[in-house]
Each structure stands twice: as C-alpha cells, then as structure tokens.
Structure 1
Amino acid sequence: MIEQWNAADLRRLASYLRSVTKPMIIAANKADIAVAKNNLKRLQERFPERMIIPCSAESELALKGAAKKDLIRYVPGNGNFSYTASVSDVQKNALDFIDKNILQQYGSTGVQKVLDSVVLDVLKYIAIFPGGVNKLEDKDGNVLPDCFLMKDGSTALDFAFRLHTDIGNAFIRAIDVRTKRTVGKEHLLKHRDVVEIIVRK
C-alpha cells in the first residue's frame, strides 16, 4: 500500500509523525519590534494548531538585569515590576518601553510562559514540593526552597524515591501538607502539591 503513496502522502505522514513524537511550541521572539503584531498574526494563521507565545527575550534580560542591580522588583513571568531605586532617564525610558510595549500588551515577556508551557503542557510534568506539616522553611528561612519536577501520574512513592532511594525503600506513608491528610504510596500527586514523606527509622 505505501508503495502507492505519492510525495504529498509521504509528507503528510511525516508531518503527522513529527507532530506526535516531537510536539512544538513556537516562541515568537522579538515581540518588542514594530512589525511583531503582524508577524504574530501571520504565524497564528499559518499554524492554527500550534501554541504560539509572543516573547521578548531582550526585555526579560533587561528586567532581570535591573532587578539584579536592585533598581526594580521583578519576578520572572510577572506582568509588572516596581521601582525600588532611582534610575537614570535612559534606564527609565527603556523600562517604560518594556512596560508599555511588552508587559501591558502581552501580559509578560513571554519567556517564563514558554518554559512553563514546554515543561507543564508539552512534557506533562508537575511541580512537587517537599515540606513538613509544621515546617515549610529551611534553616535560612526560605519557604519551600526545593521543587521537583515529576511526570504527571506520579505517586507519593515515586516522589519518595525521587528524593532518595533510601527514603523510597523506607517509605511508610505521606502527608498532603495543605490538607494535613495522610495518603498512601499509590496516592496520585497533583501539580504544586506539598508532600511530607514519613519513613521507617
């Protein structure tokens, strides 16, 4: 049967197989340039089945740089920032441009959204935090400083083994820290669960 296929049939098959085995997100960078909206519209028309995320890596880099110098308070992925120090006119103009043309237009620089979408939507991972029912901070006062990416469908026992083989082997039960409910080894974890693992001594 395949011998009867023409080049167009083979191309369609190859495209289908690629879409199934190598799912893609289009990171439409340079969203800060004048023709960006037209380019984005053309991409959406050409690839209606694909997730297309407008982004500006240059804007993200500038915001992170300003935050590192303590000029602004900015959390990657957020749609805003706040000034924490006085800035020069040149710096203010650049930051105002990013705010008006990127953050207000698209809701964020898009960079974190691309990363989140790849990890959570395409690769189907969930973020799980180890924590205790009575303690969510480390010795330095950082709240939930660790995060583990687990495949969707992972269990409490899978998470215990991810922390350490010895923890998995000594697993007794887990506790859903939010609800304070005891769960067993087969308990399916959900995105952003905080889990305490109880082990044999």
Structure 2
Amino acid sequence: MIAIIDYGAGNIKSLQSALSRLDIPSLLTTSKNEIEKADAIILPGVGAFAEAMKQLEKLGLVSLLKSEASKNKPFLGICLGMQMLYETSDEGGECPGLGLFKGKVRLIPDIVKVPHMGWNDLQIKQNVPLLNGIREGSHVYFVHAYFAAEGDTENLVADTAYGVRIPAVVQQGNVFGIQFHPEKSGSIGLQILKNFGELIS
C-alpha cells in the first residue's frame, strides 16, 4: 500500500487514479499510523513551497516523513513534493524544506517564460530502476516556476533543458524526486509510477 500524503496541495485524485489503473493500491492520508504502516510514500504537490511546508508542520508530519524516509521505505516526491525534499527554497522568502537532499530551490531565470508549462524531453544521466523502460528523449509534462538549482550531482538521474538545466529526476537511496507530473505524462508517466510500485518489497 502506498500512502499519498493528502495535505491539500495539488490534484492528488488524478495521481491516485493513475495508480489504480496500474493496480497499485494507495490511500490518501495524513494519519501518522497509516503512513507508518504503508509500504511506500508519495509526497505530491503544486503551489507555494512555504505554505506547503507550513501545512506539513501543522499536521505534525515533517519529523514523521524524515523518519520514514530513513527506514529504507520507497519515498517519491512529485513536483512541489520533489522541491520539498531539499534543504531550502527561495520561494516566498527563504524557507526550510525536509532536508532529505542537499541543495536549494530557486526561481527559473526569466530568460525563458516562467512558469515552465509543457512537454520536455528527459536526458538520462543514470540508469536506475525508477526509469526502467524509459528511453532517452522521452517527453514528460512539467508545470513549475522553481527548480532544484543547487544539489549534489551524484543524485541527478535525469534532467531537461529550459533556459537552464532543470533536474527532472533525482535519487538518494530509497528517496526519489521527479519534477514533472507522471499522472499527466501519458504512458511514460505511467511506466515510472509502475516502476515505483515495483520497488515495494
């Protein structure tokens, strides 16, 4: 069972629907007990970093998510959920994140239209189980204004070009982040969600 953290940030019903199509059981929850019992965790999200972190704090989930991530449980952050894995973000003034990845989230430079909305290709840097069956240059759907501008290069699995190099997939052990929306990325997104489901032992 995958626990999808339901803290009010994003269209999580479409994510749950995508998992259902793949016959991957999931539940929307903020229950500490259910999160601890889950086999894996997905932290989704769209919107503002600081507000999302405030909501996680209010629900008492920040320390719990850090603890669960330390237990070798598959953990996936999607879009804003990926950005929240980092130490800090500039969005709305400097705000601390979960600190599961070293680095900082910054605004995409205005040399391109911001926010970044649309299909971009994946440039794969590392072959990892999350990207099994995904070809170099596969297109996925992005909607974001901020990105992980600073981070450890060894965690970078795939990126895309949008004015600058945008980290699109990152991994540190059992913790993964994807900047795009798999539930909006057609068969490629479904394959990535399927791969994540297969990481559950």
TM-score scaled by structure 1?
Answer: 0.21
Q: Which has the higher helix share?
A: 1
What TM-score results when the alignment is normalised by the length of structure 2? 0.21
Q: Which has the larger radius of gyration?
A: 1
Higher strand share: 2
